[in-house]
Structure 1
Amino acid sequence: MEITPKSKIHDVLTHFPQLEEEIIRAAPPFENLRNPLLRRTAARLATLEQAARIGGLNPLELVNRLRRLAGQPELTRTMDLPSPADIPPASADDPDWVRGEPQFVIDGNQLLARGEVPLNHINQLLAQLEEGRSILLITDFEPLPMIESIQKQNRKVYHKLDGQNPHRHLTYFG
């Protein structure tokens, strides 16, 4: 299992139980992981990114700390985590629901390069999506099968080309 900011704490601890103490040190509110009942519930919902923010840490720093302890190479911001600077501002033509900052940003090309299916990630995140927020999928292709699948779920979908990079597709799900 590869440790990423979107990894669920439960999954990380299932594969790397030795990381429990490090997660608790990084985010003291996760002391509850020692309680088997809370570990089965809260840890299935919370991601490492959320744990880092609760602990007041940069998510990339926490993930890389855990990756080092698990013997995995560190991630770099430019390769593995889209930064806010990667997200072009909304235009007047965009629907209102995509104008705010997306709640989640997914680099679909990176997921595919690792052999993962972006649609699986999108479906997981849709369950966590707050009212009025969106998920942004960034790809170098128009993800028509994903768009159709999410539309069949009666979810909002908006797709456009990035005005600054015509080879980059921005697909919002809400």
Structure 2
Amino acid sequence: MYKENIGTSITPETKVGELLESYPFLEAVLIDLAPVFTKLKNPVLRKTIARVTSLRQAATVGQLPVSKLINELRRAAGMDSEADFEADSWKLNAPEKQEEEIRPSVIYDARQDLEDGVHPGAKVATGVSKLNSGEVYLLITPFTPAPLIDKMKDKGHTVWSRKAGKNKFETYIKKS
């Protein structure tokens, strides 16, 4: 499985799309590490999500430590491994000082849309933009939507996610 290094390094910031363009055989490694990556076989999701998702974010989606994902990919590509990367910069759990009960103003179950190859990013961004400050948007997905969480945090919103069952993650976005 060794392939000559053709210029793409494998780091937490490498985009999944770039990785698979340079090392197509690593798709099988990703799927072996976390079955959720089977979705990369969907051409629409591969074009949209893989283009913007970093390996750090993919590790979160696959519920893997970043260092394990990077080291396994490097090993399979014939590169040095044994890198140790810091944990993700955002937490998946709700904040400690949480209201007694959160009542989302909007609930969007995106599982079927994702299965159909529809990326929920635009719909979520539009929905959150229509909320009043302090209101909560609930997004339900089959995995942690790490890139979307990062985008919402970059816009100043409070975001947290939790596993709510098998193939069910709830991501809460509180508008700032």
TM-score (norm 2): 0.45
TM-score (norm 1): 0.46
Higher RCO (CA-CA < 8 Å; seq separation 6+): 2
> Is the helix fraction higher in 1 or 2?
1
